[in-house]
Homo-oligomer: A and B are copies of this chain.
Amino acid sequence: MSITSFNPPVRTLMGPGPSDVHPRVTGAMARPCIGHLDPAFVDMMDEVKQMLQYAFQTKNQLTIPVSAPGSAGMETTFMNLLERGDKAVVCQNGVFGGRMKENVERCGASPIMVEDDWGKPVDPQKVEDALKANPDAKLLAFVHAETSTGARSDAETLSRIAHDHDALVLVDAVTSLGGNELRVDDWEIDAVYAGSQKCLSCTPGLSPVSFSERAIEVITTRNSKVQSWFLDTNLIMGYWGPNAKRAYHHTAPVNALYALHESLVMLQDEGLENAWARHDNNHLALRAGLEAMGLSFIVAEDYRLPQLNSVTIPQGIDEASVRSRLLNEFNLEIGAGLGALAGKVWRIGLMGYSSRAENIVLCLSALEAVLADMGAEINTGVALPAAYAKLNM
């Protein structure tokens, strides 16, 4: 065996995440490791919490990054809030609602499923009906921005309905945090988790979470222990919490937190609303180009995510070959369809640092070149001018 250092190819990441990581963020990650109880590190943790509160638009004290990817953030919310025998209403309109169902079941609780078509938002009426039929439901869980389809659900309305029925609100904001409007306090969300590798332009591996006072009340008065020691917020708060003694719980992923800190400084400097607007504007440019080419979106305009564009594949074209050629010829990654949409769509991400003019023109040019070469029935020569016109508006 003689393995040598790994030097990755330099890609442009326009899939469903990870998105392009800004060199400032990878640069921060490479800074010297220090101890997880070092006073300098503890000060940095406080800044991370403060900037996450800003990103989530919340004053929640329990607003921290879980030391693992978004799936662990999901488990953190479910495992801390649910106990065996509880009931939870779970909305499914894509892959991640299904993962929520798994989470509920593995907590020994019962999921009441509210199903909507993939590519559609969660239907508030169905949620209302489900909560009416299950007055003992402890929480409502749904995905704000479905990464598998590109549909946005109305988190504010769904949250209001849940509270009207005295249920907690648990929201997946993995793809929405930093990319589109999300107001945890105004919308009265009780538990929310996100990912570092989407609209925050950070490396994958951390999951920001936030819990409301109401949620903390539920967690601290549980009858049974949280079934994960690693994800038990009662213990984690000894390390991350306000006025905490910074007691050792687990060894924090020090360098990954440097990266998250830097990405949050960049978000703060840009301004949250400006970041939302950038995602919107760049989406309009990409959309103008793709539609000019003849591709269409599977999600209706009203609830289409700007950062995750699910588009149809031209008739007779092998979608996997297109993605391979984009990767091999242009170092450009776009996403495949997932679950029910596998083979049916491409998912083009415009998340975080990936959401910029140079990526849009690269994507449109490369896609047009490859599709034209493969004999696809598309309009050529019109995508770039259409996109460029929107970029300059």
- Contact surface of A with B, Cβ cutoff 8 Å: 1-11, 13, 15, 17-18, 20-21, 24, 26-36, 38-41, 44, 47, 50-51, 54, 67-72, 74-75, 99, 102-103, 105-107, 195, 197, 203-205, 225-230, 248-256, 258-259, 261-262, 264-265, 268, 327, 333, 338
- Chain B's closest residue to A225 (CB) is B106
Known contacts A69-B67, A99-B229, A256-B256; is-contact A28 B40 (Cβ 8 Å): no
Residues from chain B with Cβ under 8 Å of A35 in the complex = 11, 13, 15, 18, 333
Are B253 and A203 in contact, with the CB atoms below 8 A?
A: yes
Known contacts A69-B250, A250-B71; is-contact A29 B29 (Cβ 8 Å): yes
- Chain B's closest residue to A338 (CB) is B248
In-complex Cβ contact of A72 among B8, B40, B68, B106 (8 A): B68
User: A264 CA to B345 CA in the complex, in Å?
Assistant: 39
Known contacts A204-B251, A256-B256; is-contact A32 B6 (Cβ 8 Å): no
Residues from chain B with Cβ under 8 Å of A67 in the complex = 68-69, 72, 205
User: A261 CA to B30 CA in the complex, in Å?
Assistant: 15
Are A69 and B18 in contact, with the CB atoms below 8 A?
A: no
User: A205 CA to B204 CA in the complex, in Å?
Assistant: 12
Chain B nearest CB from A118 CB (Å) reads 16
Are B18 and A254 in contact, with the CB atoms below 8 A?
A: yes
Listed A/B pairs (30) with beta-carbon separation below 8 Å: A3-B264, A5-B24, A5-B262, A5-B265, A6-B44, A7-B31, A8-B32, A8-B38, A8-B40, A8-B41, A13-B34, A21-B255, A26-B29, A26-B30, A30-B30, A33-B204, A34-B333, A67-B69, A68-B69, A68-B72, A69-B253, A71-B229, A102-B229, A103-B229, A106-B228, A203-B253, A203-B254, A203-B256, A204-B251, A227-B227
Knowing that A3-B268, A8-B44, A13-B35 touch, tell me 19 more A-B residue pairs with CB under 8 angstroms: A1-B268, A3-B50, A5-B262, A5-B265, A6-B47, A6-B262, A8-B31, A33-B197, A36-B204, A38-B333, A69-B253, A70-B250, A71-B251, A75-B228, A103-B229, A106-B226, A203-B255, A205-B255, A255-B256
- Chain B's closest residue to A201 (CB) is B33
